[in-house]
Amino acid sequence: MLYAGKWDRAGLDYQALKNQWHVVARADEVSAERPKAVRLLGEELVLWRDGAGQIHAWKDYCGHRGAKLSLGCVKKGEIECPYHGWRFDAGGQCTRVPAHPDQATPSSARLIFRHHAAERYGLIWASLDAPRRPLPVFPEWEDDSFRKVFAGPYRYMGNALRSVENFLDASHFPFVHANLNGDPDAPEPLPDYQVFKDEHGLRTSEISVFQPYGDHRGIPVTARYTYSVFNPTTAYFVKKTGDTERFCTFLNATPVDEAECVIWLIVAINFGADLSEEKILYRQDMVFEQDRLIVESQRPARLPLDIQQEMHVRSDRLGIEYRRWIKELGLRADAPNHAEPRAAALLN
Ligand code: FES
Ligand code: CO
């Protein structure tokens, strides 16, 4: 079945994803006055900023009569429900019931459900449960010799993990990105590579790929790709050309639901000062549109974590390790949360 509907919460993929950070919006999409509705792993969330500008991610729900808080507004640093005007402070405490101003306000238990929120790299991040891993590191973010370009977001009616695996797959270039990243009539074999695993996630050795139709500048290049996976939904590559040229891509695929995702992309580039942002975006938009058709066609929609399913060859090594790693994270999801104190320090 292509569309399996809502996440099966007992599934290992859901278990691996519920307590990790996901990108849910661009930072400038959440203003001081307006809350924003987003969806993550089948849950409806409201994002809003308190008086100090700190971001919050709550269930999009007011326990008085169940209205959506995202339809309300933010006043004096508190979120106001659209239905009866009850207000809640940053801690989730009800501070005002306009119909009964003289009565004590009700306790917030069962009224408000708070998730975890953070802001970094110009993006808003949310985690449904206490995050077990810190916010992913984007190595070039602080490095001024790299120009940053935000691409997307790209919405796929496909599974987030399938889309990340697609991003990590170098042997599809000549076919899906024919005449852009390779030649379907003369595809280059993919050289063998290694995959390493440590506490930061997965990383490959360099993979050389000849791009006959050129890079963003239209210059044919042999590019050396190094892929990393920081989270099941956060992947990254450095594409090296020449001695010093680096084209880096930081990708986050947000699972809206089991068969829908939003891909947030930041490109960091240290060459081609004359290369316009439009040109970079034009190519990214084209590549992600080509990938979209494939990822949306994959079935089952969910990424099979059982290695016995589907068929693998040597060039799929990264995909295999990726599936194994997600399964492992899902199995560990019920173990005591040793990483929590470190991750909690990143919370607002
Ligand atoms: Fe929120 Fe009544 S439903 S105040
Ligand atoms: Co692709």
- pLDDT at position 1 is 44
Q: Please give all residues whose beta carbon lies within 6 A of any atom in ligand 1, as ranges.
A: 62, 64-65, 67, 81, 83-84, 86
Question: Closest residue (by CA) to atom 4 of ligand 1?
Answer: 84
- pLDDT at position 2 is 47
Q: Is the interface score ipTM higher than 0.90?
A: yes
Ligand 2 center from residue 177 Cα (angstroms):
6
- pLDDT at position 346 is 34
Quick one: DSSP state of residue 27? G
Q: Are 303 and 162 in contact (CB under 8 A)?
A: yes
Ligand 1 center from residue 283 Cα (angstroms):
47
- pLDDT at position 255 is 97
Ligand 2 center from residue 190 Cα (angstroms):
15
Dist. CA 96–CA 118, nearest whole Å: 27
Dist. CA 97–CA 65, nearest whole Å: 13
- pLDDT at position 344 is 34
Q: Which atom of ligand 1 has the smallest separation from the CA of 84? A: 4
pLDDT in tens, 91-144: 999 999 999 999 999 998 889 999 999 999 999 999 999 999 999 999 899 999
E strand spans, the chain:
22-26, 36-40, 43-49, 55-59, 73-75, 78-80, 87-88, 94-96, 116-120, 123-127, 147-156, 195-198, 201-204, 207-211, 221-231, 234-241, 245-257, 260-269
| CA 76 from centroid of its chain's CA atoms | 31
Q: Which atom of ligand 1 has the smallest separation from the CA of 65? A: 3
Give average pLDDT by consecutive 10-residue segment, the chain, 348 residues: 69 95 98 97 97 98 98 98 98 97 92 97 97 94 97 98 98 92 89 95 96 81 95 97 95 96 98 93 96 97 95 97 96 63 34
- pLDDT at position 173 is 94
pLDDT in tens, 255-266: 999 999 999 999
Q: Are 178 and 208 in contact (CB under 8 A)?
A: no
- pLDDT at position 212 is 83
